């Protein structure tokens, strides 16, 4: 693509969106190149990028082109194609959702759209409940406010497979962004009943499905625990508080400044519960209210972060891995205790998630399935079980990035389910005088201490993209047994798992996993949704202090590859 010519074409034709038209007039050459040097990548995660003008940006034109490609794909695969659409609190999410709806309607694809912003799992749920051919969620999950995105779900409510993504991309690439996209206004689509609002009964059915995930099985617990909750200016407020209150948790304080939807995220520029700063205001509220438990969900409410009090009354944030193993052990122990463990039980986790999950699953006789990074691969495994008539065998799935799901009613991580199950688990142990930190310590005593951390390195623009590719090439060529670098801080590399050609039956993915002696590992992969290289460390040691010291040494060595 000649980015300069494409920019000039946009200056003439991209007049329908005043914000885009105005931005085009103020771009210098560097901004033009970054905005037009490529098309925004479409893959299994759909689209994700910075909001703005250009082919490498999220705007009504790139959204409409993707929707046209998806519509063409659906027309080829379904006699009466239909789609469920949802959107979150991000800047222009509602605008992009309506633009997509207008394209689908113009192409004869029946549209069902949530009448208000909703969490990402409700699109997976609506797709399954209404039996639509596909689902679309407009969200950039936990990214900073300048981002937005477009996730696509298959008829099974799971994010699209690699094969489906490739086929949709082929349809998208056939299109001229201005000449080949059919569209009608959202208002016309509603008037002609080509676009319909998803009814309240579907929302209620979703909440009921979440409530059924309780594993108390009739046991009584103290539900008067003091909870502070933050939706981080996203979509979680109504479904999370409704679910908790209907299940008896009434002592809830919502963080006022982060209560209402706001795509600018004024008090948490990085609205990701994985990040300490995003939890800071919630921690203040927890101290002020003397809360027992702090919960926060990300803007599209598919991730949950938590904090609990230690013995000194200080609030401690738990990692996604820590919360995940606590939930897994709780679910398993309750099912075993009440005779509710299904035949052939299965737990699914990603390859970058703590290996302690597998140790816990083994202890309870639960089979572990390891999949690539991304909850879509966990959803895919639930679908495979469903095809075998064994959907009930799935008991839990989690990933280190704060995503959890304990039921098969959706095919994506669910922050509503996660928040509810965490509250139930907390109450269960609190009723018995056990804190979550006590329980976590018990798990470490049983299975050995393991520190799991994530380190992200940003590489912006076309130069950054090339840099990341070069770094991955260096790792493949120079790091491993018998190569220039065959150890990290004295820990010998015992094995390299390269997923780029497919491994263990998994799809091809640009991921490297180094297995080190002493039950330690390093995973390196470029993010599929952000301009970042991600490094996951798993360090086993005799104590937390020893593990943290070892982790510092490993990351110092890793950084020499990133300059």
Note the pLDDT tens digit of each residue in 165-219: 999 999 999 999 999 999 999 999 999 999 999 999 999 999 999 999 999 999 9
Give the confidence band of 120 by pLDDT, cuts at 50, 70, 90: very high
Task: Say if residues 382 and 347 touch (Cβ distance below 8 Å).
Answer: no
Please indicate whether residue 538 is annotated as part of the active site. no
Q: Summarize pLDDT for 303-353 with one digit per residue, the tens.
A: 999 999 999 999 999 999 999 999 999 999 999 999 999 999 999 999 999
Q: Which of 346, 437, 427, 356 is nearest to 392 (CA)?
A: 346
What is the structure's pLDDT at 1?
A: 67
Q: Summarize pLDDT for 123-152 with one digit per residue, the tens.
A: 999 999 999 999 999 999 888 999 999 999
Using CA atoms, how far apart are residues 416 and 236, in angstroms rounded to an integer? 7
Using CA atoms, how far apart are residues 289 and 297, in angstroms rounded to an integer? 19
- Output the average pLDDT for the chain: 95
What is the structure's pLDDT at 154?
A: 97
Catalytic residue from among 89, 141, 183, 319: 141
Using CA atoms, how far apart are residues 409 and 238, in angstroms rounded to an integer? 19
DSSP strands (E only) in 459-541: 487-488, 491-498, 512-516, 520-526, 532-541
**Model confidence at 554: pLDDT above 90:** no
DSSP 346-389: EEEEETTS-THHHHHHHHTTPEEEEE-SSHHHHHHHHHHHHHTT
Using CA atoms, how far apart are residues 476 and 202, in angstroms rounded to an integer? 48
Q: Summarize pLDDT for 59-92 with one digit per residue, the tens.
A: 999 999 999 999 999 999 999 999 999 999 999 9
Average pLDDT over residues 355-370: 95
Which residue bears the tokens 């001229």? 176
Q: Which of 142, 68, 59 is nearest to 95 (CA)?
A: 59
Strand order in the sheet with 47-50: 47-50, 147-153, 134-138, 82-87, 110-113, 195-197
Backbone angles phi, psi at 294, to 5 degrees: -110, 130
Structure tokens at 527: 């993010």
Q: Summarize pLDDT for 448-489 with one digit per residue, the tens.
A: 898 998 898 999 887 888 899 999 999 999 999 999 989 888
Share of the chain above pLDDT 90, in %: 85
**Model confidence at 242: pLDDT above 70:** yes
What is the structure's pLDDT at 505?
A: 79
**Model confidence at 504: pLDDT above 90:** no
Task: Say if residues 3 and 31 touch (Cβ distance below 8 Å).
Answer: no
Give the confidence band of 560 by pLDDT, cuts at 50, 70, 90: confident
Give the confidence band of 502 by pLDDT, cuts at 50, 70, 90: confident
What is the structure's pLDDT at 543?
A: 86
What is the structure's pLDDT at 490?
A: 82
């Amino acid at each position: 693509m000649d980015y300069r010519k494409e920019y000039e074409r946009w200056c003439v034709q991209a007049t329908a969106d005043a914000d885009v038209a105005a931005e085009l007039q103020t771009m210098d050459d560097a901004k033009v190149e970054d905005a037009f040097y490529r098309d925004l990548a479409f893959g299994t995660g759909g689209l994700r990028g910075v909001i703005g003008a250009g082919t490498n940006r999220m705007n009504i034109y790139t959204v409409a082109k993707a929707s046209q490609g998806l519509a063409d794909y659906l027309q080829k695969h379904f006699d009466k194609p239909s789609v469920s659409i949802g959107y979150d609190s991000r800047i222009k999410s509602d605008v992009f959702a309506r633009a997509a709806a207008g394209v689908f309607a113009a192409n004869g694809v029946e549209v069902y759209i949530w009448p208000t912003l909703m969490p990402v799992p409700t699109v997976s749920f609506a797709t399954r409940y209404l039996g639509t051919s596909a689902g679309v969620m407009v969200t950039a999950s936990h990214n900073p406010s300048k981002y937005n995105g477009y996730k696509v779900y298959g008829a099974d409510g799971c994010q699209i497979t690699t094969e489906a993504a490739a086929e949709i991309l082929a349809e998208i690439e056939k299109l001229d962004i201005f000449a080949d996209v059919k569209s009608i206004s959202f208002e016309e689509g509603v008037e002609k009943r080509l676009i319909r609002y998803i009814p309240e009964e579907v929302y209620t059915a979703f909440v009921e499905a979440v409530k059924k995930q309780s594993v108390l099985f009739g046991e009584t617990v103290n539900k008067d625990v003091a909870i502070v909750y933050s939706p981080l200016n996203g979509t979680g407020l109504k479904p999370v508080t409704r679910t908790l209150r209907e299940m008896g948790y009434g002592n809830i304080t919502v963080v006022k400044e982060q209560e209402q939807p706001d795509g600018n995220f004024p008090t948490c520029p990085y609205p990701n519960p994985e990040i300490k700063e995003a939890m800071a205001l919630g921690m203040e509220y927890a101290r002020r209210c003397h809360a027992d438990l702090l919960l926060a969900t990300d803007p599209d409410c598919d991730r949950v972060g938590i904090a609990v009090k230690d013995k000194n009354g200080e609030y401690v944030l738990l990692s996604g891995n820590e919360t995940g193993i606590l939930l897994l052990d709780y679910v398993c122990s309750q099912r075993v205790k009440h005779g509710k463990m299904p035949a052939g039980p299965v737990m699914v986790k990603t390859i970058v998630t703590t290996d302690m999950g597998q140790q816990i699953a083994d202890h309870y006789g639960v089979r572990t399935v390891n999949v690539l990074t991304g909850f879509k691969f966990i959803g895919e495994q639930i679908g495979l079980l469903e095809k075998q008539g064994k959907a009930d065998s799935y008991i839990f799935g989690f990933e280190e990035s704060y995503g959890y799901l304990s039921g098969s009613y959706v095919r994506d991580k669910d922050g509503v389910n996660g928040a509810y199950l965490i509250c139930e688990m907390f109450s269960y142990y609190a009723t018995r005088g056990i804190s979550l930190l006590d329980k976590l310590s018990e798990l470490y005593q049983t299975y050995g201490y393991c520190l799991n951390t994530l380190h992200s390195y940003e590489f912006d623009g076309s130069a950054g993209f090339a840099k990341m590719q070069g770094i991955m090439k260096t790792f493949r060529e120079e790091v491993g047994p018998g190569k220039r670098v065959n150890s990290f801080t004295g820990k010998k590399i015992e094995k390299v798992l390269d997923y780029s050609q497919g491994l263990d039956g998994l799809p091809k993915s640009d991921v490297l996993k180094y297995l080190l002696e002493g039950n330690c590992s390093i995973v390196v992969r470029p993010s599929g949704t952000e301009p970042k290289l991600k490094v996951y460390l798993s360090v086993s040691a005799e104590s937390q202090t020893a593990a943290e010291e070892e982790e510092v040494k490993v990351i110092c060595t890793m950084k020499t590859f990133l300059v």
